[in-house]
Amino acid sequence: MNKHIGFILSVIFGIVCFSAGTYYSWMNLETRIQKYAERFEEIDDRVSTFTQVSDPKTIQLYVKELHSILDNITFLGKIVESGQVSSESLSEFFSSYNKKINSVNNRILELNKEHRESVSKYDLQIAGLSEDEDELFNITEDLQKKIQEQNDYVNRLSVEIGQSVKQLEDNIQTIKSSKYGNKIWTVKK
């Protein structure tokens, strides 16, 4: 029976070791698959970029553009060497350019003239307003003096009337206190 138990334990131990090894290998395999997937994506990106650049239509377009640039450079070189750019075409260009500049200069001069006229017009208006202001100030001062004089006159009259009324009241009181006034006053009541 010891033999059978030993055998069973050996089989169980073998199965456990096999399962653990398989599990460990599976985890290792998964990690490697992730690394390979990342490398595959990187290589795929590079290949797609290369495919786009190496596309015959793209290459033909680039070659066509390069030929066009070379043709233009060659043409410009021939123009410079042969002197085909004449002074007439340059003078015509500068002439039209000068006409445009003269037109702009004339417009600037017109605007400057209008601005000066407006400024002088406003200066005259301001000077006129300043004179009117001075005149109004003088008139206001004169009116204030006259009002003060009238006020002083009214105050003097008021004082004089007050004194006259006081004197009149004193005279009436004197008359009332006299014999004759006493008779008049008693008859009236």
96-118 pLDDT, tens per residue? Answer: 778 877 887 888 888 888 888 88
Q: Reduced to 3 states, what is the DSSP secondary structure of residue 12?
A: helix
- Please state, for a pLDDT cut of 70, what percent of the chain lies above it: 84
Higher pLDDT, 178 or 181: 178
Q: pLDDT category, 23, cuts 50, 70, 90?
A: confident
Q: What is the DSSP string of 28-93?
A: HHHHHHHHHHHHHHHHHHHHHHHHHHT-HHHHHHHHHHHHHHHHHHHHHHHHHHHT-S-HHHHHHH
Report how far apart, in Å, the C-alpha atoms of 77 and of each of 29, 52, 91 are. Answer: 66, 35, 22
Q: Identify residue 145 by its one-letter amino acid code.
A: K
Q: pLDDT category, 159, cuts 50, 70, 90?
A: confident
Q: First and final CA of the chain: distance in angstroms? A: 168
pLDDT at 189: 54
Q: Are 181 and 175 in contact (CB under 8 A)?
A: yes
Cα Dmax for the chain: 177
Q: pLDDT category, 86, cuts 50, 70, 90?
A: low
Report how far apart, in Å, the C-alpha atoms of 60 and of each of 49, 53, 73 are. Answer: 17, 11, 20
pLDDT at 110: 84
Whether the predicted model's global pTM rises above the 0.75 cut: no
Higher pLDDT, 44 or 49: 44
Q: pLDDT category, 63, cuts 50, 70, 90?
A: confident
